[in-house]
A and B are shown apart, each in its own frame.
Chain A
Amino acid sequence: MSSPVLQPRTRVTRIAQEAVDRARLTVVPRVRSRAPRVPFVTLVSLVLVGGIVGLLLFNTSMQQASFTASALEGEADTLAAREQTLRMELDELRNPQRVAQQAQEMGMVIPTAPVFLDLQTGKTSGVRTPATREDALRLLPPAPVKPAVLAPAPTTVVVPAPSAAEQPTTPATDSTATQKQARKNRNR
């Protein structure tokens, strides 16, 4: 294995002995490097400190981001819930029962038979039936029947009819008299 290395050497010896002699290795005194060490140490320290601080900052920012994410998630939840609550309120406002009650209070009534108006010809089809108050739907269930204890029968007081002699002449006084009588009855 060493022969290919040795071969050129012998050939060189033969061709340029002088040059080879001149190039012969000799021991030289060690050159003491006077390069300052401080910059290198500073650089390494800086890289180290920078790395550690960077890592710390990175970690902190991640933690910070995590806090922000939590806060934002919470906010998103709150907003979604608010939206749903509002939608529910809207749905309740659209409740046909509520709409009908308001419409009926405004005097509107659902007609018993439809009539169609053709906008192009201006003609109506169908029999025009008036919608009356009687057609209004009873929207609320009747009030529950109270037990007898809570709803006693009205007390009626029979007032004997005044005799012909007592009968006042003018109708005006008549009415005031009955009114008074009525008030008295109520007080009883």
Chain B
Amino acid sequence: MPSTRATGSAKRGASRGAPMMRLRVGFVLIAMVLSFFGARLVQLQGVDPQSYAVRAAAEGAARVTLVAERGDILDRNGVPLADSIKGKMVIADPSLTADRAPEIARLLSDRLSIDYFKTLNALRGRNEGSRYEYVARRVPSTLASDTLDELDAAGFSGISLQDDPIRDYPAGDVAANLLGYMGTDEPLGGFERTFDKQLAGVDGEATWQSTSGRGVRIPLRESTLRAAQNGTALRTTIDRDLQWFTQKVLAQTVQQYSAASGSAIVMDTRTGEILALADVPTFDANKPGEADEDDLGSRAMNDTYEPGSVEKVLTASSLIDAGKAFPRQRFKVPGVLQRQDRPIGDWFDHGMIRLTLAGIIAKSSNIGTVLAADAFSPPQLVSYLQRFGLGQKTNIGVRGETPGILTPGEVMTSQTKDRVAFGQSLSVNVAQMAAAVNTVANGGVRVSPSLIEGSAVTDDGTTVGTDVATRTRVISKEAARATAKMMEKVVDPEDGVAPRAQVPGYLVAGKTGTAQRVNPDTGLYDGSTSVSFGGFAPADDARFTVYVVIHAPKGEAGGGSTAGPVFSRIMGYVLGRYGVEPTGGKPSRLPVEW
């Protein structure tokens, strides 16, 4: 019996193998499985664990860029010249939209006023396998979401929206040459570019775990939020309504005389704040692409020209300040003045006439000015002009400002000095010239002009604005007063050359200018002229300085007859706008002849 049992168990043992054997096989199997696990563990945790963590987090993670709102550009009263509003870009996923592209394109082009065929191309995918196509950029947010709702209701899918702020210039072309404009993604000119760091702000970011589809946050899951820092507003000294008026008056005259271009500037005499700086032709900042590329910058600041006779004001006031001349000083002015290299003539034919210094200014005699300026050596004259701010940038914050050209005194020949004395052979920009005339208006103290209220830092690191404005005395108060009296004679109906620059009821001091223009290609005078008028009112207690220059007018044009009326119109408007009553002062009674 026991033997049979033993044989039975032996049989069973043989069929299942020895227990030891089974144990070993089992262990080997377990070891193999465990080593696979171990290897996988090392792979997951040892080799690049971060990428797996990131992939895990990305599953259902939503990441949204919080677009910072671009700072507004404001005028002096806080009215926006440029502002930002929420906008959306419309994006198509062609893998979802291609099949029903014509219907979707029709709806989109109807609602968003965009081109049907371009939309169709975007919806079908411009490239094979593309899943991200711009359909429209900078669509007002409300319009975009209304359209998307409509698409949803119609059962179309594959269109999504993303933040894409819109830059709007509510007044179109007002101050456009100063403000600049925005390209698709970055600022391309003007203040927008110069002060981009301040205006742009810093984009924020939010991440969270979301349920698929609608992007609803899963509560209690990891979420981060870095709020966007909106850009800081830039406040300018521009007065929007005055700027608009200045542009319109200037444009009207530029058109009337078929002139190439024109610029005008209005300055607050006491603070140097620029209330208006107009350029014609200009452009609509909302549609910079439609404008001539040459019109996009600020000609007033970027182009130089020879100022012509307006500069005589600086020469005469310097002479008076240096004690080398006085308003009633008598000059015998010949018809032609022979100087070393060429004869100097006047704009009007005359024989020998007897003019006072006031008469020389009132009648704008080149010869008289040269005779008076003989009391100065070239370095003396240049040193005065430099203190008036010529030959140096004004640094008001306009890109690409030209410093103008003023030959240094040590190397200036006497012939050049003669011409500089009446405003040729030197070149300036509009703000320089306005600030120089303003020095006379402000009792001899030059206030550096500014366009930015407070202060701001330009992209090349210069701080500009009213906070850093400087005041320097250039000529004595008496010299400034005497010059103003002489300038009053310019608009005198009997003695002066620019009666049309008068503002009824006010004492106006000004000076005309007609200068030959240098052709930038040849470097020679090309026969065209730049006519200008600079002046201030009320002459006995100046509040505003207005300077107007019109380049290459056609037909009969002169500083007094062309730029004078523009000056008068702008000055009349600004005096009324700022409530400056006539002073009731007595007009200048300086003699012009003897």
**B215 contacts chain A at the CB level, 8 A cutoff:** yes
Judge whether A94 and B172 touch: CB under 8 Å: no
A15 to B86: give the CA distance in the assembly, Å.
98
- B249 — nearest CB in chain A belongs to which residue? A137
Residue B556, interface by CB 8 Å: no
Q: Are B86 and A80 in contact (CB under 8 A)?
A: yes
Asked if B298 lies at the interface with its beta carbon under 8 angstroms from chain A, I say no
- CB <8 Å contact, A84 and B220: no
Partner of A139, one of B248, B575, B581: B248
In the complex with contacts A70-B216, A95-B170, A138-B248, A81-B86 CB distance below 8 A: yes
Q: Which of A32-84 touch B at CB < 8 Å?
A: 62-63, 65-67, 69-70, 77-78, 80-82, 84
Inter-chain CA distance A91–B568, complex, in Å, is: 30
Residues in B whose Cβ lies below 8 Å from that of A65: 219
Across the interface, do B216 and A88 meet the contact criterion of CB distance under 8 Å? no
CB neighbours (8 Å) of A88 from chain B are 83, 85, 140, 168, 170
Shortest beta-carbon distance from B467 to chain A in Å:
28
Please state if A91 and B505 are interface contacts (CB–CB under 8 Å).
Answer: no
Contacts of A92 in B (CB 8 A): 170
Tell me if B419 is interfacial: C-beta within 8 Å of chain A: no
Task: Evaluate contact between A112 and B575: CB separation under 8 angstroms.
Answer: no
Q: Secondary structure of the B side of the interface?
A: mixed
Q: Determine if B85 and A85 form an interchain contact, defined as CB atoms under 8 angstroms apart.
A: yes
> Which one of A5-13, A22-30, A125-133, A179-187 contacts B?
A125-133
Q: How large is the interface on B (under 10, 10 to 19, 20 to 34, 35 or more residues)?
A: 35 or more
B145 nearest in chain A by CB position:
A78
Check A137 against B171 for contact (C-beta < 8 Å).
Answer: no
- Counting chain B CB atoms within 10 Å of each CB, which of A63, A69, A113 scores highest? A113
B174 at the interface (CB under 8 A from A): yes
A143 → B minimal CB distance (Å): 12
In the complex, which residues of chain A have a beta carbon less than 8 angstroms from the beta carbon of B506?
113, 126
With A110-B245, A114-B576, A138-B252 known to touch, is A63 a contact of B219 (CB < 8 Å)?
A: yes
Whether the Cβ atoms of B251 and A141 lie closer than 8 Å is yes
**Interface flag for A160 (CB, 8 Å):** no
Check B106 for interface membership: any CB of A closer than 8 A. no
B172 proximity list for chain A (CB < 8 A) = 95, 97
Is B240's CB within 8 Å of the partner chain A? yes
Please pick, from A66, A85, A91, the residue contacting B142 in the complex, using a CB distance under 8 A: A85
With A and B bound together, what is the CA distance between A63 and B249 in angstroms? 63
Instruction: Report A112 CB to chain B, min CB distance, Å.
Output: 5
Given contacts A62-B219, A66-B218, A70-B216, contact A113 B572 (CB under 8 A): yes
Over the window 236-267 of chain B, the binary record of Cβ atoms lying under 8 Å from chain A Cβ atoms (1 yes, 0 no) is 00001100110011011001000000000000
Given known pairs A81-B86, A82-B142, A91-B83, the reply for A113 and B503 (CB within 8 Å) is yes
Known: A97-B171, A113-B572, A126-B505. A85 touches B140 (CB 8 A): yes
Q: Report which of B218, B244, B576, B579 forms a contact with A96, defined as CB distance below 8 A.
A: B244
11 A–B contacts from the bound complex (CB under 8 Å): A62-B219, A62-B220, A66-B217, A81-B140, A84-B141, A87-B83, A91-B170, A94-B79, A113-B504, A125-B505, A141-B255
Known: A96-B244, A110-B573. 15 other contacts (CB 8 A): A63-B218, A66-B217, A66-B219, A69-B217, A81-B141, A84-B86, A95-B171, A96-B174, A97-B244, A100-B248, A114-B575, A126-B581, A127-B504, A138-B251, A138-B252
Q: Give me the 10 closest cross-chain CB pairs, A-B, nearest first.
A: A114-B576, A81-B141, A91-B170, A127-B505, A127-B504, A84-B85, A96-B244, A113-B504, A126-B505, A62-B219
